[in-house]
């Protein structure tokens, strides 16, 4: 299997959670993932944690990228992680968080199962590389 076919088989959900209305970053990542050959689903704005969990499970995604700028990551991300756990999907879903997440909150998110946190100014190449190296093998 060529690395291009491998990349194509990586299914990603780019999700905006909560009341955060800023989606430029999510669009940039979704487009970059698509250009990298990933299959991308975009949640749209203002999704509740359970809607994101449902979408991730129904679409059987390998990667869930949570874009959050509202400061509510400490309550919303755990709800998503719990939901994935409930459906038995936490193990085989690479969960990423992107946006404005203070350094002091990052360890807690990692403990809850977030594989990586990408702050403002992270290059899309770095994010794509991380996904290629860490996405679950099917």
Q: CA 123, CA 114: separation in Å to the nearest integer? A: 19
Pairing mode, if any, of strands 116-118 and 39-42? unpaired
Percent of the chain exceeding pLDDT 90 equals 72
Query: At residue 7, does pLDDT exceed 80?
Result: no
For the chain, domain boundaries? 9-132
φ and ψ at residue 109, rounded to 5 degrees: -65, -40
SS3 string of the chain?
CCHHHHHHCCEEEEEEECCCCCCHHHHHHHHHHHHCCCEEEECCCCECHHHHHHHHHHCCCCEEEEEECCCCHHHHHHHHHHHHHHCCCCCCCEEEEEECCCHHHHHHHHHCCCCEEECCCCCHHHHHHHHHHHCCCC
| Residues paired with residue 54 on neighbouring β-strands, in sequence order | none
| pTM of the predicted structure, to 2 decimals | 0.91
Place domain 9-132 in its CATH homologous superfamily. Cobalamin-binding domain (3.40.50.280)
Q: By C-alpha distance, which of 112, 44, 43, 45 is closest to 74?
A: 112
User: What pLDDT is recorded for position 133?
Assistant: 96
pLDDT tens string 21-80: 778 888 899 999 999 999 999 998 889 999 999 999 999 999 999 998 777 888 999 999
């Amino acid at each position: 299997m060529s690395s291009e076919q491998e990349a194509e088989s990586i299914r990603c959900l780019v999700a905006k959670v909560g009341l955060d209305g800023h989606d430029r970053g999510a669009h940039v990542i979704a487009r970059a993932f698509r250009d990298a050959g990933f299959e991308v689903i975009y949640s749209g704005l203002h999704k509740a944690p359970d809607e994101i969990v449902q979408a991730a499970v129904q679409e059987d995604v390998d990667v869930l990228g949570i874009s959050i700028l509202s400061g509510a990551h400490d309550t919303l991300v755990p709800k998503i992680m719990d939901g994935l756990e409930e459906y038995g999907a936490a193990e085989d879903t690479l969960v990423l968080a992107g946006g404005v997440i203070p350094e002091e909150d990052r360890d807690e998110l990692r403990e809850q199962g977030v594989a990586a946190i990408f702050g403002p100014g992270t290059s899309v190449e770095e994010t794509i590389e991380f996904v290629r190296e860490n996405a679950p093998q099917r």
